[in-house]
Each structure stands twice: as structure tokens, then as C-alpha cells.
Amino acid sequence: MSLLDDIQAIRAAATEALGTIDLAETLEEWRIKYLGSKGLVKSAMQRLKEAPREEKPALGKAANQLKVALTEAFEAHKSKLRAALAGGKKKTKAKLDVTLPGNRPKIGHAHIISQTVSEICEICARMGFEVAYGPEVEDELHNFIALNIPESHPARDPLDNFYLYPGAMLRSQTSTVQIRVMENTTPPVRIIAPGRVYRPDTVDATHSFMFHQVEGLYVDEGVTMADLKTTLDQFCKAYFGPEVETRFRPSFFPFTEPSAEIDVLFHYDDGSTRWIELGGCGMVDPNVLQAVNYDPEKYTGFAFGLGIERMVMRRHNIPDIRYLFESDVRFLHQF
């Protein structure tokens, strides 16, 4: 076979082979076979040396045309493959099945304490109580003095409170809001005040250094201890269910007289029961009414302060208060 025949055969074979290539890897193999440094075009060029002198110009031209033609065909095919690949990606996107279920984003919800605060507000609103709020950073007048808690009282010990600087503290009870409301309102007053309070208590299953209370205050003419007991009992039944067992125990608070604790009976999984203190309550002490310029001869009132964590724990059978603040969100997602 002459070199010219070979050149034509190479061109025909290369062109035919290129037409079937649809993968980048196969195209590279084709390039190496025909256009590589040891490829067929190169070896045809090398054979030029052996050709008779008078044929060399025509053969050289034919070999050069072969190289140019195959190089151009290679580049053109490469561009075609790239375009096909890009088009294919677009097609894949278009083929997305939008009816398949997507990745559901994790949606949060209100913490169980916040949910409970809303529920408490709703229950109390039905009994005619408005909602009031007070600051968490308080002064001693509202946290102690106006509440009839004298300087010498152990509750004022700096070690039992979070003082920020002399005279300012994180409130240790929501009873502060009683004073703030009475300072600005004339009786009758019927409010509840939910919120955070802070005490440097040792943390255990029923105590936290930050917790929530809901304060209740009702001052009017002729309010009695019977009103207090009925209101709290109705409240506990509305929140825990009609079968709930509550009891009132005599107690002492400087700002109420007489005073009591309200306890709720906890039922444990092992069948045992235990009374857990929910909060304090009592008839507003005349000294407190006087501190806000209410006439204690004319007005009487009751007040209560319940621990919201204790209520949540009783209702949802949570054995340890720390689960509410220290556990991961999987625990809180249940509520």
C-alpha cells in the first residue's frame, strides 16, 4: 500500500471512529491513536523520508492536510461533547420530581414553660384577672421594703439573692409586681403577673437558680380567705384536671396575714405519692396596703405566688426540673 493510500485510509478510519464517540475518555483514546506523539499521523509523517523525491511534495501536502483535518475534527467533536454534557445536566434538573416529599426543615415551637404561661393567662382571664408585667432587675423597695420584709429578714441576705450592685438585684419573686400595680391603680385590682425570678438556690430535682412564678393579686372591698381558697382551687382544677388533689397548709410570709402554702399531690410511676409545694398565698398584710396608700380599713385582698416549673412537672410527670432547662431539644419536642 502506498503512503498516499495509507493517508487516505487513516483519514477515513479516523473520521468514522470519531463519529461514534460520545465519551470524553474514548475521545482521548482517539486523540492518542491518531494525533498523539506516537500516533498514526506522526508515523505517516515519518514515512515521508522514505518516499521517492518527486513524490515528496504531494505526499507532504497530503500528510499535512490529514493532520490539520483530524485536529479540526477532534476540536469540533470535543466542543460537541461538552455541549451535549451541559445540555444533559439541564435535562437532569428538568427531570426533578417535584412531587417527591422534600427535606422537612425542623420547625421549633414555644418552650413548654412559655406555653404554660399562655395557658395560665387564659385560665385566669376567664376568672377576671388581667395580666401585668414588671422588671426582672428590681430595687429593694419593690422586692422587700414595700412587701413588709424588714432589713433584718433572712430573705434579704446578700447570699440569698443576686445583687447586681447595692440597691439593685434580680427579683427573687414576682410579688414585686403586686406593689408596682397597686402604686399605679386604685382598687379594685385583679391581676396576675407571670415572669422569671432568680435565687442562688442549690440546683436539685425541684430547685433551679432561675425559675418562673405567677403572681396573683385581688384587692377590693370584702375580699376574704374563702375567695382565695376558691380561686386557687378552681385554678388548679382548670389546669390539672377536676380530679386534682390540693391542700392548704398554714405558713408565713411577711406580706400576707394569714399565710398558707398550697400543695399538689404528685403521683409517681411506682405508685407512690408525694405532696409538692406549688406556691405561697395569703391575705394581703395591712402594712402592704398602707405602703401603697390603700386604706386597710376599707380594702382587703388576697395574693398568691405559684412556681410554674412545679406545675409543669406535676402535669407532665417530669421528675426533674433540670430536664426543662438542660436537656436537648428532643426532650422539649414532646410538648
Summarize as ranges the residues that interact with ligand FA5 (CB under 6 A). 173, 175, 199, 201, 207-208, 211, 213, 253, 256, 259, 277-282, 303-305, 307, 309-310, 321
d(CA 262, CA 278): 6
CB of 334 to ligand FA5, least distance (A): 21
Smaller CB separation from ligand FA5, 7 or 149: 149
Q: Residue 103 CB, nearest distance to ligand FA5 (Å)? A: 39
Between residues 295 and 320, which has the closer beta carbon with respect to ligand FA5? Answer: 320
Give a three-class secondary structure readout of the chain: CCHHHHHHHHHHHHHHHHHHCCCHHHHHHHHHHHHCCCCHHHHHHHHHHHCCHHHHHHHHHHHHHHHHHHHHHHHHHHHHHHHHHHHHHHHHHHCCCCCCCCCCCCCCCCCHHHHHHHHHHHHHHHCCCEECCCCCEEEHHHHCHHHCCCCCCHHHCHHHCCEEECCEEECCCCHHHHHHHHHHCCCCEEEEEEEEEECCCCCECCECCEEEEEEEEEEECCCCHHHHHHHHHHHHHHHHCCCCCEEEEEEEECCEEEEEEEEEEEECCCCCEEEEEEEEEEEECHHHHHHCCCCCCCCEEEEEEEEHHHHHHHHHCCCCCHHHHHCCHHHHCCC
Closer to ligand FA5 by Cβ: residue 99 or 202: 202
Min dist CB 136 to ligand FA5, Å, is: 14
Nearer to ligand FA5, 175 or 300 (CB): 175
Give min distance, CB of 199 to ligand FA5, in A.
5
Closer residue to ligand FA5 (CB): 29 or 160: 160
Return the number of the residue (66 or 214) whose C-beta is nearest ligand FA5: 214
Least separation in angstroms between CB 176 and ligand FA5: 9
Residue 114 C-beta: closest distance to ligand FA5, Å: 16
CA-to-CA distance for 182 and 194, rounded, in angstroms?
16
Question: Closest CB to ligand FA5 belongs to which residue?
Answer: 307
As measured in angstroms, the least distance from the Cβ of 96 to ligand FA5 is: 52
| Nearest to ligand FA5 of 36, 254 (CB atom) | 254
